[in-house]
Amino acid sequence: MGSRGNYRSYPGWPILLLVLIIGALIGGWLGEALVKLIPSLAQVGQVYTVGIPHFTLDLQVLSLSFGLTLRIGLCSLLGIIGSYLIYRKM
């Protein structure tokens, strides 16, 4: 039968998304803990917020709320990169 060569199959994109989110959470938590232990690293733990602010659309019969906020910092980015490297090893 034919061989596929060096082709490597990775888990699907939902698993990648989950792994990246978990990596961002762990990186953010570690960054917060690091800043609490060593306050002089406050710049490293700085978090930037981007997104759409929360707003509500009231239609009298139905009320819809929308909003999306992303809080990202250096430690979260390092967590995302680390989790991606772990995903590649799966």
pLDDT tens digit string along 35-62? 899 888 888 888 889 998 888 989 889 9
| CA–CA dist 48, 42 (Å, integer) | 13
| CA–CA dist 50, 68 (Å, integer) | 8
Nearest to 78 by CA among 5, 32, 28: 28
Residue 5 has pLDDT above 70, yes or no: no
Domain coordinates in residue numbering, the chain? 13-89
What angle separates helix 13-37 from helix 74-89, to the nearest 10 degrees? 140
